[in-house]
Amino acid sequence: MAEIAALHHLITRRRLLGAAGVGALALANPIWAETAIDLPLPGGPGARPITTGFPQKGPMILQRTRPPLLETPFEVFDKGVFTPNDQFYVRWHWAVIPTDIDIGKFSLTVRGHVNQTLSLSLNDILQGLPSVQLSAVNQCSGNSRGLFQPRVPGGQWANGAMGNALWTGVRLKDVLDKAGVKPGAVQVRLKGLDEPVVPDAPHFMKSLDIDHARDGEVMIAYAMNGEQLPVVNGFPLRLVVPGWYATYWVKMLSDIEVLNEPDTNYWTKTAYTIPDTPHASIKPGQTDVKMVPINRMVPRSFVTNIASGDKVNAAAPTTLRGIAFGGDSGVASVDVSIDEGKSWRPTTLGKDEGKYGFRQWQTQFTPPSPGKYSLLSRCTNSNGVAQPDTPNWNPAGFMRNVVESVDIVAA
């Protein structure tokens, strides 16, 4: 009991100190900015402040202040396929996040089932290994969780817990080869500098199978969109796992441990698991289901230039534009429907910036008569997988990829 009381004291002290610091900061740089937004979450609450209070970040939808959960305002996705760093969404599990990072002191450790333990400086990584570039979508496993029905607990995101960047870095394979992976290695466990507030809580770590870690695509990024990462997006190093959900994209990556047996840590084995069913979907209340770690992403598409509630001209052509991504493969096609999915027509795809990134699409449509319309967009990826027309459901609110609808009026 005394231990718990001491811990409470420590935590309270830490909170008070933190709050005092922010009090001073708030005068110059208010967390609560001038505007708010109402996210269309069924049953609510959808009201969120737009904050400009986070360093290195522009206007963001404030889902949680500490640890930060910041959502990208959806209009950002209409501006192009690369999401600006200062509006790239942010998601942390634990509140102890280093805020003072000295690039001369930072090191990345490679240890475990290897021939040689390494401690790599940023210079070792930037100057000593071949540099690679790749555009890839980083999407939270629970992106769009707030749209699940029935609703489920967790971060209540609309569709903005995703972003696409051009990542520059080194191959994880090259780093592992430098250490020399021993025969019998099965997984690689990745850990960042963030820490839980409560000391015995599980440190955030994720593991990839050894063959995946060595596939030459998984990379350690030191730049996004040509610049160093914002601190809240994982400066100085972040794992990039193309085609896989962002839970694997460990931020502030500082420790790589090669394992000779499967990882049993909480974050790999228990958290971030999905029903082993089509679309990771089950009926609410269903429990007799095998759970597996979340893994590859699935295709999605969005209209970005028209929002629900907008009015368009009837009997005149309207431009319809959006983004799509294939998940674990490229975008083969995006089709749209204005008649509840009875008929679909193709759209024109924009420049291909790489199979793991966003791809823009565009078309024109003319409402045949005044009235209400639902604009549907459906991405089919290059593996032939298309977005489903009914929403999935699981208790964690993971992997939504139903055909989304934008409801408008033509007049």
Find the binding residues for another protein in span 38-57 (CB under 8 A).
41, 43-45, 48, 51, 53-56
- Chain positions 306 to 325 lying near another protein, rule: CB under 8 A, are none
CB closer to another protein out of 56 and 305: 56
2 binds another protein (CB under 8 A): no
**Cα 48 to Cα 46: distance, rounded to the nearest angstrom:** 6
CB closer to another protein out of 43 and 183: 43
Structure-block tokens of residue 103: 């690039």
Provide, rounded to whole angstroms, the least separation between the CB of residue 311 and another protein.
30
**Among residues 270, 286, 319, 366, the one that binds another protein under rule CB under 8 A:** 270
**Cα 314 to Cα 103: distance, rounded to the nearest angstrom:** 58
The neighbour count for residue 314, using CB atoms within 10 Å, is: 16
**How far is residue 226 CA from its own chain's centroid?**
19
CB closer to another protein out of 127 and 390: 127
**Among residues 35, 36, 38, 66, the one that binds another protein under rule CB under 8 A:** 66
284 binds another protein (CB under 8 A): no
CB 194 within 8 A of CB 252: yes
The overall longest dimension of the chain from CA atoms, in Å, is 74
235 binds another protein (CB under 8 A): yes
- Tell me how many residues contact another protein (CB under 8 A): 71
- Chain positions 101 to 130 lying near another protein, rule: CB under 8 A, are 101-104, 122, 126-127
Closest CA to 159 of 410, 406, 386: 406
**Among residues 77, 167, 222, 272, the one that binds another protein under rule CB under 8 A:** 222
Provide, rounded to whole angstroms, the least separation between the CB of residue 282 and another protein.
16
CB closer to another protein out of 18 and 180: 18
- Chain positions 176 to 205 lying near another protein, rule: CB under 8 A, are 196-198, 200-202
**Sign of torsion over alpha carbons 176, 179, 181, 187:** negative
Tell me the C-alpha to C-alpha distance, in Å, between residue 201 and each of 11, 15, 191, 242, 265: 14, 18, 14, 29, 11
CB closer to another protein out of 63 and 144: 63
Could you give the angle at the alpha carbon of 302 between the alpha carbons of 150 and 227, nearest 5°? 110
CB closer to another protein out of 127 and 369: 127
**Among residues 37, 107, 195, 266, the one that binds another protein under rule CB under 8 A:** 266
Residue 50 identity (one-letter amino acid): I
**How far is residue 305 CA from its own chain's centroid?**
22
Contacts of 144 (CB under 8 A, 6+ apart): 157, 158, 159, 161, 397, 400
34 binds another protein (CB under 8 A): no
